[in-house]
Amino acid sequence: MAERKPAARNAQKSATRFSDEERAAMKDLSQERKVVWGKNREDDERAVLAKIAQMPGTDRTMGRRIHDIIRTSAPTLSPRLWYGMPAYTKDGNVLCFFQPAHKFKARYGSLGFSDEAKLDEGRMWPIVYALSELTPTEEASIASLVKKALG
């Protein structure tokens, strides 16, 4: 009769495994660390736009629109890739990023903000926003959030 491994050991082993999507994000980060971001803003923006162009349908449309909104409402932010996602930095630190739905097989994309963002409101505030569609209302909200995040 085959010996059975304890359930706790199997649970621990599977808990330490990364999904294919997580491994891909780590690979993206490894490649991004070889790039000197901020050295040439035009090259950085080209890399972001190229990554957006590789996204499937809705993610690509949303990513492009978010990029345009951020570049218009906060022209001082610098675009770059972060874990394979379009991100926007202030003084070299990621301020906000777009996580497309396909990246982690989610049902919606999201716009996230780092702790560098000045979105503080009381003792608790949102830092990630689900995006299922971009209408003029959401676009105005994104522009307002990005401006507020700058401080």
pLDDT of residue 40: 82
pLDDT of residue 39: 75
pLDDT of residue 41: 83
Q: Map out the domains of the chain with their CATH numbers.
A: 20-150 (3.90.1150.200)
pLDDT of residue 15: 62
pLDDT of residue 7: 53
pLDDT of residue 95: 98
Whether pTM exceeds 0.85: no
- 16 CB neighbour count, 10 Å cutoff: 6
With H, G, I as helix, E, B as strand and everything else as coil, classify residue 55.
coil
pLDDT of residue 26: 84
Please answer whether residues 37 and 46 qualify as being in contact, where contact means their C-beta atoms are separated by less than 8 angstroms: no
Please answer whether residues 88 and 78 qualify as being in contact, where contact means their C-beta atoms are separated by less than 8 angstroms: yes
Q: Please give the chain's pLDDT, 151 residues, in tens.
A: 555 555 555 545 556 789 988 888 888 777 767 766 667 888 999 999 999 999 999 999 999 999 999 999 999 999 999 999 999 999 999 999 999 999 999 999 999 999 999 999 999 999 999 999 999 999 999 999 999 999 9
Alpha helices in 55-110, H assignment, sequence order = 57-73
Report the distance separating Cα 36 and Cα 30, nearest Å: 12
pLDDT of residue 66: 98
